[in-house]
Structure 1
Amino acid sequence: MVWDLPAFVGLTLAAFSVGLINSVFVQDFSLADAATRTAAEFGAGMEGIGIPILMAAIIGKSMLESGSAQRIVRGFQSLVGSDNSEFALWGSSTVLSIPVFFDSVLFLLAPLARSMRARQGKNYALYLMAVGAGGTAAHVFIPPTPGPLAVADEIGVTLGVTILVGVVVAIPSAAVAGLAYGHWINARMQIPLRDSMGTTTEELEERAQRSTDSLPGVFESALPIVIAIAFVSSLTVVDTLEEIYPVFTTVKPYVSFVGNSNIALTVAALVAALTYLRWSDLSRSLWEDELTEALRSGGNIAAITAMGGAFGALLAASGVGSYISGVLSGLGINLLLTAWLIAAIVRVAQGSATAAMLTTAGIMAPQTGQLAVHPAYLVMAIGSGGIICSWYNDSGFWLMNEIGGLTQTETLKTWTVMTTILSVTGIVTVLAFSTVVPLT
């Protein structure tokens, strides 16, 4: 930060530094591992998000340049009113993040938030918080997203009850963090539009002034998002139905292919790119150049995100999570608060919400019998702690920073504070509902 290094270089140095410390204090962690483990974790991160981010860059560029994002924005505004656009983004993000990973939803909805800002000329912080809070709440509270699903399985809670309690906790938490805090910070911090995802601010603002007749239709505009969501969520649907109707087992291999986020976003990118070609005056060669420019932008985002994950993984390898968990688990305070506190400190120490949730679940599972309320509340307490204070060692921080076109200071004041408010509101909601409706 002092040297103003590019984020990727800074994160790489941070990961190597943690690796060097690990080589001194961590058993079976050699000096060579400081380099090789960093590279391996970076590669593992790219394996998970490389293709989706690059294809999302094409989707974002194509939807913005073709006018598709503007057309969807105007459709939202006609339904809820131009002064309530944040509700459309908030609701869409919450619902879509249940069957689809949050990062994919952010890739898809960030262009809409940018287009709304270009059309309205204000409220960018509010729109980003609406998207971020809705999707993050679903990510940590509502199965079948991986974190709460794995924690519920570890603790032994039925899926139906976990989903029900998750919805009850997610909605007020996301409303406070996304809408209430979004309005508060938006009144105090006007974030300008900047070049991002291969699209300049001037291009974005020019498209915001186009007449509706010059834009693609609503169906064609929304088709890339619909395809991505339908493909990815199809695997969740088949996984659920095959337990009831064994006939779905025969189609699962095919659905597993199209439902993979790499395939889903690739198909969606092709559809978005063809719409861009149809609704622009570009030649094929210039169209190709524009898509290549989007890939350059996406490559930088993918590299930063993957290295942020590697930094977190090297911190996790230090054993700091297990150490903190061991110290706190014996304090003797309320079990729900203990679970939240353990998950929160592990999350801040090593970055990954899912890793913090799973670490805490393993510690708290043997103590479930001591609960005076339904164990589904324990799942929610762990999820609340696992999302707190997203900062430099969390890949989600860098996604919001890069896709939103924010400075690091702006990301800390918006995204980091929002995730902290979401966490605190979540545990307060859990404690309140578990007291009034213990479900025992």
Structure 2
Amino acid sequence: MAYPHSPLVAFVVGLVAVILLLVYWDLPAFIGLVIATFVVGLVAPQVAFGNIASETAAAFGEGMTGIGIPILMAAVIGKSMMGSGAAERIVRGFRGLTGSEGSVFALWGSSSFLAIPVFFDNVFYLMAPLARSMRARVGKNYALYLVVVGAGAATTHVFVPPTPGPLAVADEIGVNLGMTIIVGLIVAIPSALVAGIFYGRWINARLDIPLRDSMDTSGAELEDIAHRSTNELPGMFEASLPILLAVVLVASNTIVDTFLPEDAPIGSVTSFLGDPNFALTMAAIAAALTFRRMRAMSDEQWSDELTESLKSGGNIAAITAAGGAFGAMLAAAGIGDYIADALAGLGIGLLVTAWLIAAAVRIAQGSATVAMLTTAGIVSGSGLVASLSVHPAYLVMAIGAGGNIFSWYNDSGFWLVKEIGGLTQAETLKTWTALTTIISVTGLITVLIASTLVPLT
């Protein structure tokens, strides 16, 4: 593919733009990301000058299509679960079953399990209120709780089908689904342990993140709820109902899509019920009703509280979609294909080559799923899969590990974690960006070791 100039120019210019706009000048994230997207379009000859603004808007709109309603409903869920004491009740349930130390593993296990049928962003919407309530109750360890939740969800997101990314890669390469799940768990568990528990404890000892206002709930309000008696909180089932509803509805669609024929009559029903737009709406209704009951609010007060949460959610959705648009403009500049072409001919092992390609594409354009699918297409089209001396499920894992690396400004997930978690940019880089990188490197190492010891051929 011939380029008037290297797409690396657009990538470097975009990187400089976001650093100047967001870090040096400290512009609001949404404004800075939109301007940076325009700047990338201006130096990318692959994007027609007259189409730069419209392509930015289109990418922003596409991002909002995917996350707009879920984030707004997640804001209602977060506000309602924290304001009603539901999140605090679940946290106390965790601590009662596992003890104070074991509650960290409960958060990790919950996020890992939820991410199997549910997209990462939806898992974070549901788990962030629990992490915030845990911080309010304990008075410390917020960095640890966020990293643990992120590690559980992120590892499952890239390693364990039927999560869409590894499912699509396995299909592209032609790998048995059952074996992919088994190998995925082998890679996911140590990766999540190293990144979530070990790194989480390390960074937590060095980074004390305060409980800031987020999702229209103040830290002071959460700390007040943390000191209420259990009798003043909703029951465990009612408190958990929003999460249960979201997971069961989304999982119903995942199960039908994965295990039943495409023309199964129930498919149209689960496609509606299991769509995140509907599932999170139902979860938001359940959470909001509990919020109203526990706070004994009038209709007007209840409406005002929910409206405030939607304002907060709107800002989060706008920033997240703008981050996705920035990544999409880098992709339109050709950076992903350019890097993939440059790395495809490396004379090193296929597992490491695939990891490098996926990692480079991920860093350049932001989306883990796009990086994974791009790499899978290159690898499957090269004819080299047949020459693998190990089971091709390991190749799926190497691609997933590479696609997870270094989530930063061009990844909508970075902004999601920052805004919902109530973090600064620096805190997000030290927790979330570092976490995704550790998962990636640990995942590759695990793949290389496991494939050497147990090639499964």
- TM-score, reference length from structure 1: 0.97
The residue aligned with 1:395 is 412
Gaps of 5+ in 2: 1-22
**What is the rounded CA distance, in whole Å, between the counterparts of 2:203 and 2:258 in structure 1?**
40
The residue aligned with 1:60 is 78
Pick one of 125, 139, 154 that aligns with 2:157. Answer: 139
State the shift of 1:362 in Å.
Answer: 1.0
What do residues 393-440 of structure 1 show as CA deviations (whole Å, max 9, x unaligned)?
Answer: 000100110000000000001110110000000000000000000011
The residue aligned with 2:272 is 257
State the shift of 1:240 in Å.
Answer: 3.4
What is the one-letter code of the residue matched to 2:72? L
State the shift of 1:242 in Å.
Answer: 2.3
What is the one-letter code of the residue matched to 2:452? T
The residue aligned with 1:386 is 403
Does the 8 Å contact 2:162/2:258 carry over to 1? no
State the shift of 1:321 in Å.
Answer: 1.1
State the shift of 1:334 in Å.
Answer: 1.0
**What is the rounded CA distance, in whole Å, between the counterparts of 1:394 and 1:348 in structure 2?**
9
Pick one of 413, 416, 430 that aligns with 1:413. Answer: 430
Does the 8 Å contact 2:93/2:236 carry over to 1? yes
**What is the rounded CA distance, in whole Å, between the counterparts of 1:340 and 1:360 in structure 2?**
8
The residue aligned with 1:97 is 115
What do residues 30-61 of structure 1 show as CA deviations (whole Å, max 9, x unaligned)?
Answer: 11221111000000000000000000000000
**What is the rounded CA distance, in whole Å, between the counterparts of 2:308 and 2:232 in structure 1?**
24
The residue aligned with 1:2 is 24
- 1:35-434 map, 5 Å: 35-243=53-261, 249-365=264-380, 366-434=383-451
- Name the stretch that deviates more: 234-243 or 355-364: 234-243
What is the one-letter code of the residue matched to 2:360? I
**What is the rounded CA distance, in whole Å, between the counterparts of 1:270 and 1:70 in structure 2?**
19
Q: Any idea what SS the aligned residue of 2:205 has?
A: helix
Q: Any idea what SS the aligned residue of 2:169 has?
A: helix
**What is the rounded CA distance, in whole Å, between the counterparts of 1:15 and 1:204 in structure 2?**
37
What do residues 96-138 of structure 1 show as CA deviations (whole Å, max 9, x unaligned)?
Answer: 1000111001000000000000000011000000000110000
Q: Any idea what SS the aligned residue of 1:73 has?
A: helix
Q: Any idea what SS the aligned residue of 1:81 has?
A: helix
**What is the rounded CA distance, in whole Å, between the counterparts of 1:256 and 1:317 in structure 2?**
31
Q: Any idea what SS the aligned residue of 2:24 has?
A: coil
**What is the rounded CA distance, in whole Å, between the counterparts of 1:14 and 1:239 in structure 2?**
38
The residue aligned with 2:18 is none
The residue aligned with 2:15 is none
What is the one-letter code of the residue matched to 2:175? V
- Name the stretch that deviates more: 120-129 or 358-367: 358-367
Q: Which runs of 4+ in 1 moved over 2 A?
A: 239-243
Gaps of 5+ in 1: none
What is the one-letter code of the residue matched to 2:40? V
The aligned length equals 433
**What is the rounded CA distance, in whole Å, between the counterparts of 1:167 and 1:359 in structure 2?**
23
What is the one-letter code of the residue matched to 1:2? Y
Q: Any idea what SS the aligned residue of 2:423 has?
A: coil
State the shift of 1:144 in Å.
Answer: 1.0
State the shift of 1:329 in Å.
Answer: 1.2
**What is the rounded CA distance, in whole Å, between the counterparts of 1:256 and 1:359 in structure 2?**
26
Does the 8 Å contact 2:151/2:196 carry over to 1? yes
**What is the rounded CA distance, in whole Å, between the counterparts of 2:291 and 2:171 in structure 1?**
44
CA RMSD in angstroms comes to: 1.0
Does the 8 Å contact 2:401/2:443 carry over to 1? yes
- TM-score, reference length from structure 2: 0.94
State the shift of 1:282 in Å.
Answer: 2.1
What do residues 331-355 of structure 1 show as CA deviations (whole Å, max 9, x unaligned)?
Answer: 1111100100111011100000001
